[in-house]
Structure 1
Amino acid sequence: MELFDTATVLARVLTSGVVMSIEKSDRELPALERLLTKRTGRAKAVLLNSRTGALHAALAGQGIGHGDTVALAGPDEATTAFLAWLGVTVEGQAPAAFDLVSLTPENAGRLDELTAEATAPALVVDLSGLGFGPAAAVLTDDERLWARAERLKIFGAYDLRTMWTQQEADEDLVPGVQFNYRLSPLVAGCVRMALTHAARPAAASSGAR
């Protein structure tokens, strides 16, 4: 993405007056969620401010936590180490608890292709490689998985519904601990622009044929 495009996104977000991720009127986060669900064919998206946050949410969404064992297809050292920190042991490769795709400027235009064969309940898309800071998403078709993952975040969708009333929207989803995993609208806006631009050459070439 060109510097001009980045400046345009930053100016749009800053002049909107909504620069904090706890604002109900924010439009950047929902827009990125819509783009990711459309590109991956998943029904729900949870946006997070780090890859590790997304890994945590993908597991917590399935009720997986300390003392549990999961299967993963070829996890890298960093993933295995973080899961060990969570107290989760990796054994075997299938059925995988989640699929993981890491995006860069070079492969961002192939998001649809890269996620087409993902079959795990949760799809983790690491957006950090796009160059706008730590960012990731968990995509799923499972409503309950989405709800649990979203509830893991401080000021996630559930907190925004009830933060002024001090009431729980769904007591069954209350986690033992919440984490500051919520993504910044500034980062979300830049990531969305990068993904939109990355998809354009592929669309243009397919139209030419």
Structure 2
Amino acid sequence: MDPFDTATVLTRVLTSGVVMSIERSDRELPALERLLTKRTGRARAVLVNSRTAAVHAALAGQGIGHGDEITQPGLNRSTAAFLSWLGITVRPGDPATFDEIVLGPGNAGELAGLARHATAPALVVDLTPIGFGPAAAVLTDDEQIWTRAERLKIFGAFDLRTMWTQEEAAPGTAPGVQFNYRLSPLVAACVRMSLTRATPPAVTAGARE
């Protein structure tokens, strides 16, 4: 990665005066959301500050919480422990409640191809291995999943779009407990830079899906 490009991104964000995700004038988070929805073919993106936050949001978006049971193939030990902490029982098998893609420097250009194989209502994309700090996203075509997941990441009584007016936009979607799962604009800008610069895999002539 060219250090000059990294320096340019850091300078742009730090001199913008917008370093928190609650700022209405932030442009970095919406830009990363647009890139991820375009690459994955999903309608909506929720940006969060860790992989576990994305898993939590993917489940909460589907109305899944303490006392519920899901099916999920291939869970690793850490995710299983986290779901147990949330009070969610997991049965191995299909259908998957959420799909997951882990992106790093070696496969950052393959997101579109990887996303085509995802069939669950919510797609978790772990962006942490790209190397700019904990970051992840939930992608979905379901408006209700997006609305619920978006609300989970903001502590307080209002969402980012209404907190400035103190008017509750959707009282029925406010979770009982909210978390500070917000991703910073600085990390979002660096992740977007890496994904933009990543080269998609070459397509071999005559190759099929």
Under a length normalisation based on structure 2, what TM-score does the superposition of the two structures give? 0.93
Counterpart in the other structure of 1:164: 164
* C-alpha displacement of 1:84: 0.7
Q: CA deviation at 1:2?
A: 2.6
Note the C-alpha offset of 1:49: 0.4
Percent identity for Structure 1 against Structure 2: 72
Instruction: Tell me if the contact between 1:28 and 1:185 (Cα under 8 Å) persists in the aligned partners.
Output: yes
Over 3 Å counting, the alpha-carbon distance change for 1:11 and 1:155 in structure 2 is: farther
Task: Show structure 1 runs of 4+ deviating over 3 A.
Answer: none
**Structure-1 separation of matches of 2:113 and 2:164:** 42
Deviation, 1:40, is 0.4
Q: For residues 57-98 of structure 1, give each alpha carbon's deviation from its aligned partner in whole angstroms, at most 9, with x where no partner exists.
A: 000000000111111121111111111111111102211110
How many angstroms does 1:160 deviate by?
Answer: 2.1
1:22-171 matched pairs, under 5 angstroms: 22-154=22-154, 159-171=159-171
User: AA paired with 1:2?
Assistant: D
Q: Is the 8 A contact 2:95 2:120 kept in 1?
A: yes
CA distance in 1, matches of 2:73, 2:4: 40
Contact kept, 8 Å, 1:39 with 1:111, in 2: the verdict is yes
Q: Does structure 1 residue 197 correspond to structure 2 residue 209?
A: no
- C-alpha offsets along residues 112-140 of structure 1, whole Å, 9 cap, x if unaligned? 11111100000000000000000000000
In structure 2, list runs of 5 or more residues that go unmatched. 204-209
Structure showing the higher helix proportion among its residues = 1
Q: CA RMSD in A?
A: 1.9
Q: CA deviation at 1:3?
A: 2.2
Cα contact 2:72–2:91 (8 A) shared by 1 = yes
Matches within 5 A, 1:169-188: 169-188=169-188
> Map of 1:7-22 to 2, 5 A cutoff?
7-22=7-22
C-alpha contact (below 8 Å) 1:98/1:121 kept by paired residues: yes
Total equivalences in the alignment: 205
Tell me if structure 1 keeps the 8 A contact 2:155–2:179: no
- What residue is the counterpart of 2:207 in the other structure? none
| Letter in structure 1 aligned against 2:196 | T
Q: TM-score, normalised by structure 1?
A: 0.93
Q: Is the 8 A contact 1:61 1:149 kept in 2?
A: yes
Distance (whole Å) between structure 2 residues aligned to residue 93 and residue 130 of structure 1: 29
SS of 1:162 mapped into structure 2? coil
Give the conservation status (yes or no) of the 8 Å contact 2:155–2:178: no
2-structure distance, mates of 1:122, 1:163: 26
Partners in 2 of 1:41 and 1:153 — Cα distance?
A: 23
How many angstroms does 1:155 deviate by?
Answer: 6.4
8 A contact 2:154–2:160 mirrored in 1: no
Q: Is the 8 A contact 1:44 1:141 kept in 2?
A: yes
Q: Secondary structure at the match of 1:125?
A: strand
